[in-house]
Amino acid sequence: MTDKLLVNESKATVTLPIEAYNAMVQSREVSIPLVTLEKFSDLTGLTNRGREGSKHQYGVVEGLRRNGYLPTIKLGRHVMVNLFALQEELSEKDRI
């Protein structure tokens, strides 16, 4: 086990001891850049399913994704919202 960070610039990676990583996770210094549409729905309070009895089967989150307002990536069969890209997009709009 190493007690130093190992940086590989050619591969854009950083290696650190598991204890340091666990400490960062516990202190919430690490954030997850991708979330499922369902988790994004929970975090924002927007619906992900259409209302019962409605002609629309999709909710607000799915509509935002389908219309290109949410930066998403497909991993296997899962569609994930890229929170970092969304944050960048929103900060760009603030600068305009």
DSSP 8-state class, residue 19: H
Contact 73, 80 (CB under 8 A): yes
Tokens of 14: 């950083």
The domains of the chain are located at 1-30, 34-95
Tens-place pLDDT, residues 17-49: 777 767 766 776 556 788 888 888 888 888 877
Q: Could you tell me the pLDDT band of residue 65, with boundaries at 50, 70 and 90? A: very high
Q: What is the pTM of this model?
A: 0.58
DSSP string, 13-64: EEE--HHHHHHHHHTT----SEEEHHHHHHHHT--SBPPTT-S--B-HHHHH
